[in-house]
């Protein structure tokens, strides 16, 4: 009699355990789908924000053997300008006046001001500079000083 009751309790316990594992398994098999759909939503949000981001203007000056294009670029105070070398030869944007490079009023860089690539840019090489001073800043190509340009910061 006692053994029968024990056996019954054991049986009930085992059943309860197995049904619990079933539920757990179901939860486990469901959750990856939830994760997938969740990450899909996240990528949707990301792609939407990427579509909205072109509000930020990119100020780019292309360097070729002929010089800087555009020769004069106008940007807002605090914006970046990116120079990209599209020539096979190296080019080195730097503040006027060659060879002092000291027209731009922020100290630093390697010669006379912070506005200086400090090296020749190789093909597809880039130089990014943030303009924090208003004015028209003339610059040149230190390796081809006849090539000049200017940045108007308003
Ligand atoms: Cu120079």
Instruction: Give the number of C-alpha atoms closer than 13 A to the C-alpha of residue 28, restricted to the C-beta side.
Output: 6
Gap from CA of 143 to ligand 1 centroid (Å):
7
Q: Are residues 41 and 82 in the same domain?
A: no
Q: Are residues 105 and 32 in the same domain?
A: no
Q: Are residues 66 and 140 in the same domain?
A: yes
Q: Are residues 84 and 148 in the same domain?
A: yes
Q: Are residues 140 and 84 in the same domain?
A: yes
Q: Are residues 148 and 130 in the same domain?
A: yes
Instruction: Write the CATH number for 92.
Output: 2.60.40.420
Gap from CA of 11 to ligand 1 centroid (Å):
90
pTM for the predicted model, two decimal places: 0.65
Q: Are residues 50 and 65 in the same domain?
A: no
Which tokens is 35 given? 């994760």
Q: Are residues 139 and 71 in the same domain?
A: yes
Within 10 angstroms of residue 44's Cβ, the number of other Cβ atoms is 10
Distance CA 122, CA 130 (A): 21
Number of compact structural domains in the chain: 2
Gap from CA of 79 to ligand 1 centroid (Å):
23
The CA R_g of the chain, rounded to the nearest whole Å, is 33
Distance CA 114, CA 79 (A): 15
Gap from CA of 151 to ligand 1 centroid (Å):
16
Digits of tens for pLDDT over the chain (154 positions)?
455 544 444 444 445 544 444 444 444 444 444 444 444 444 444 444 444 444 557 899 999 999 999 999 999 999 999 999 999 999 999 999 999 999 999 999 999 999 999 999 999 999 999 999 999 999 999 999 999 999 999 9
What domain range is 19 assigned to?
A: 2-55
Report DSSP state, residue 124. Answer: T
Q: How many degrees, rounded to 5, is the angle at CA 130 between CA 103 and CA 75?
A: 85
Q: Are residues 102 and 149 in the same domain?
A: yes
Strand partners, 93: 141
Gap from CA of 2 to ligand 1 centroid (Å):
102
Give the CA-trace dihedral at 77, 80, 83, 84, to 10 degrees.
-150
């Amino acid at each position: 009699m006692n053994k029968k009751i024990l056996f019954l309790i054991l049986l009930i316990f085992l059943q309860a355990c197995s049904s619990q594992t079933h539920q757990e398994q179901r939860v486990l098999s469901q959750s990856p789908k939830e994760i997938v759909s969740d990450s899909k939503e996240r990528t949707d949000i990301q792609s939407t924000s990427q579509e909205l981001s072109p509000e930020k203007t990119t100020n780019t000056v292309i360097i070729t053997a002929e010089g800087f294009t555009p020769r004069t670029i106008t940007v807002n105070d605090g914006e970046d300008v990116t120079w990209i070398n599209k020539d096979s030869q190296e080019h080195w944007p730097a503040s006027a006046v060659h060879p002092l490079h000291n027209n731009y009023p922020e100290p630093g860089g390697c010669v006379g001001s912070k506005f200086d690539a400090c090296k020749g840019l190789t093909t597809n090489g880039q130089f990014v500079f943030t303009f924090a001073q208003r004015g028209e800043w003339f610059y040149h190509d230190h390796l081809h000083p006849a090539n000049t340009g200017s940045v108007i910061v308003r």
